[in-house]
Structure 1
Amino acid sequence: MDALMMLFLALRLLLAGILLMAAAGKLQHRAAFAATLGEFAVPAALRPALAWLMPLTELAIAALLLFAASAWWGAAAGAVLLAIYSAVLACLLQRGLRPSCNCFGLEDAKPISNTTLARNGVLLLMAATLVYAGPAYAHASVWHYLAEAPALSACLAVMLAQWWLLHQVLRQNGRLILRMDNIELRLDAANVQPLQAVDTQARGLVVGSLAPEFTLPEAGGGRPQSLARLRSAGLPVLLIFSDIGCSPCAELAPRIESWHRQFRERVRIAVILRVDTLQTQQPRPPGGCILLLQEDRQVAASYDALVTPSAVLVSAEGTIASHLALGAKDIYDLLQATLPQTYETREIAA
């Protein structure tokens, strides 16, 4: 096998592997991927069909690339698909829009950027190289080459097994964190105290310092909300920092709405969500929790709250009233600790 044939074989395997990973991620989180298509302005009627069609197309192209006889057709189809993806990304970026890209599944969800476009460009160049070889080029058989190199085949099998195991461990770790949060909330509700407190380093801004001011658009296209306006009711403000691509944040969202309904007369709760420009027009449920939208975590960074979900309490006077709480359990504990302080402040003022 000459060097050129080895290069083309490597390109085919790499493209096929990337397309297989992308298709698997989309199929595994098909509902989330369908929702992501809405961020790309795809009509609602087309999203369910595209959520199936796109990953199945990627699977078909990957299969064509693996066989020598159909490698050119797979490369041509891959080049067309990648060209369409790149054109859509370039158009959105030029318009200043940065929707979340679930290209490889929910775990890899993050706003599109020039890096995303460059990655697609590299893949498109790889596919174009295979197309340039022409349909008459005699590509090497992947299966025959793997049979002649049993050590390489074994290494590839071990690498695939390790990747699958790592993926499962990361998913299981996320589920365990959510279960631990639920258990801690139930123990706290039953007034069961831990055997000993664990000393942890305080996170966030210094308690008593002036809270950074901000003005952010409200979900649904409402008028911008500032911290001063949130404090105008004379109540403390609980700022909860969330992220569109954060699974624990999505699990926490219904609890936040419940807290808002239960404690709205005692503390104002505002969720600051890292989101893309298109979602600023999504409607907010009537009477729901205040939902403010930020890009690039600029407000979260000013509060040293780059981990999500996290929360900090701002007093009615505009000062930092708590350390940064991380996770559902700590946020709930912070909210519960805030309520008695609110009553004491009102009694003293009376």
Structure 2
Amino acid sequence: MDALTMLFTVLRLLLAGVLLMAAAGKLRHRQAQVQTLAAFGVPAALRPSLAWLMPACELAIALLLTLAVSAWWGAIGGAALLALYTAVLAYKLQQGQRPSCNCFGQQQATPIGAATLLRNSALLAMAGALLAAGPAYGHAPLWPQLAAAPALSACLAVMLLQWWLLHHVLRQNGRLILRMDTLELRLDGANVQPLHALDTQPRGLAVGSMAPEFALPEIGNGKPMTLVRLRSGGVPVLLLFSDIACSPCAELAPRIDSWHRQYQGLITIAVVLRVDAGQQHRPRAADACITLLQENRQVSGSYDALVTPSAVLVSAEGTIASHLALGSKEIYDLLLSTVPQIYENREIAA
């Protein structure tokens, strides 16, 4: 087998493997695939059909790539499919949108970005190289080559076994995390404090110190928003620190908007979101909470809140009113402990 034939054989194997894993992920997590289609703006009537059609196309293309006589047709199908995927990704990014995607069978949905576009472009280039060879090129049959190369076959088998083990380890890890969360909730309900929490040092700025001032552009209008303006309503301000590349932050975002609607008038909720330089964002809904943009963590750093998601409460007088809360659970606990105090203070004032 000459060097060019070896190169094309490797490209066919890589493309077929990637498409096969992508199809398996979509079929295994079909509901997640429907949610991904919804995030990309696909009409509801088309989502169920596309959730089946997309993995079916990927499986068919993977099969065509493994057969020497149909490798060129597989390259055509792969190039067309990858070009479509890449065009949709590029369009969404150009619009400043970053919907979450379980791209190519990955375990957890993550927002798309430049890395996603680069990966698709590399796969598209691989399919283009196979396509450029033309229909007359004599591709080497894969199955006889694998049978004649026991070491290569063994390596592929080991890789498949490792992928299967990793998949199940990640699932088991997810189940353990859910059980630990349930256990922590039960301990909290019984007022039992974990031993490791006894030695935990308070995080963030000192309670009672003056909250650092800032001026950041607001999503939707681009006008600078200051802490003074946030406090102008005479209620405490919950500052939440988030990051555009943080998956837990993306999962927490809908709950933050829900809290904003539920406790509006009692507490002002503002998200300080770190974004990449020049990144665009689509307008926020009218009932969404205030979202401010920072590029280099200057505000997060001044509040000693470089871990995301995290939150701190600022009093109506402009002082730090809580230690830094880390993670969605601590943030929610901080919110729930603050609202009753506001009700109590209002009753005393009345």
| TM-score category, normalised to shorter length | 0.7 to 0.9
Aligned twin of 1:110: 111
CA apart distance, 1:19: 1.7
CA apart distance, 1:78: 0.6
Say yes or no: does 1:8 pair with 2:8.
yes
Residue correspondence of structure 1 range 12-31 to structure 2 within 5 A: 12-31=12-31
Greater mean deviation of Cα atoms: 56-65 or 191-200? 191-200
- The percent of aligned pairs where both chains have the same amino acid is 61
Residue correspondence of structure 1 range 119-134 to structure 2 within 5 A: 119-134=119-134
Residue correspondence of structure 1 range 145-156 to structure 2 within 5 A: 145-156=145-156
Contact 1:240/1:269 (<8 A) preserved: yes
Q: Secondary structure at the match of 1:139?
A: coil
Aligned twin of 1:84: 84
Q: What is the distance in 1 between the residues matched to 2:348 and 2:289?
A: 28
Q: What is the distance in 2 between the residues matched to 1:79 and 1:176?
A: 40
Q: What is the distance in 2 between the residues matched to 1:3 and 1:95?
A: 43
Q: Letter of the 2:127 partner, please give it.
A: A
Aligned residues: 342
Alignment deviations for residues 27-52 of structure 1 (CA, whole Å, 9 cap, x no partner): 44443443333443433332332233
CA apart distance, 1:226: 5.8
Q: Cα 1:8–1:279, aligned 2, differ >3 Å: closer, same or farther?
A: same
Say yes or no: does 1:163 pair with 2:163.
yes
Q: Cα 1:151–1:198, aligned 2, differ >3 Å: closer, same or farther?
A: farther
Residue correspondence of structure 1 range 122-271 to structure 2 within 5 A: 122-195=122-195, 197-200=197-200, 202-204=202-204, 208=209, 209-210=211-212, 212-217=214-219, 227-241=227-241, 246=247, 250=251, 257=258, 261=262, 267-270=267-270
Q: Secondary structure at the match of 1:318?
A: coil
Contact 2:216/2:293 (<8 A) preserved: no
Q: Letter of the 1:216 partner, please give it.
A: E
Residue correspondence of structure 1 range 18-97 to structure 2 within 5 A: 18-97=18-97
Q: What is the distance in 2 between the residues matched to 1:295 and 1:49?
A: 40
Q: Letter of the 1:147 partner, please give it.
A: A
Say yes or no: does 1:327 pair with 2:320.
no
Q: Cα 1:157–1:16, aligned 2, differ >3 Å: closer, same or farther?
A: same
CA apart distance, 1:97: 4.2
CA apart distance, 1:131: 1.4
Greater mean deviation of Cα atoms: 339-348 or 139-148? 339-348
Q: Give unpaired runs (5+ residues) of structure 1.
A: none
Q: Letter of the 1:176 partner, please give it.
A: L
Q: Letter of the 1:109 partner, please give it.
A: T
Q: Cα 1:280–1:299, aligned 2, differ >3 Å: closer, same or farther?
A: farther
CA apart distance, 1:122: 1.8
CA apart distance, 1:194: 3.0
What is the TM-score when the length of structure 2 is the normalising length?
A: 0.77
Q: What is the distance in 2 between the residues matched to 1:256 and 1:188?
A: 25
Greater mean deviation of Cα atoms: 246-255 or 149-158? 246-255
CA apart distance, 1:15: 0.9
Q: Give unpaired runs (5+ residues) of structure 2.
A: none
Aligned twin of 2:291: 292
Q: What is the distance in 1 between the residues matched to 2:48 and 2:187?
A: 41
Q: What is the distance in 2 between the residues matched to 1:186 and 1:51?
A: 38
CA apart distance, 1:236: 1.8
CA apart distance, 1:74: 0.7
Q: Cα 1:46–1:164, aligned 2, differ >3 Å: closer, same or farther?
A: same
CA apart distance, 1:67: 1.9
Aligned CA-pair RMSD: 4.0
CA apart distance, 1:70: 1.7
Contact 1:237/1:316 (<8 A) preserved: yes
Q: What is the distance in 1 between the residues matched to 2:95 and 2:282?
A: 14
Q: What is the distance in 2 between the residues matched to 1:268 and 1:2?
A: 68
Q: Cα 1:322–1:216, aligned 2, differ >3 Å: closer, same or farther?
A: same
Q: Letter of the 2:2 partner, please give it.
A: D
Q: Cα 1:168–1:95, aligned 2, differ >3 Å: closer, same or farther?
A: same
What is the TM-score when the length of structure 1 is the normalising length?
A: 0.77
Q: Cα 1:217–1:54, aligned 2, differ >3 Å: closer, same or farther?
A: same
Q: What is the distance in 1 between the residues matched to 2:107 and 2:300?
A: 23
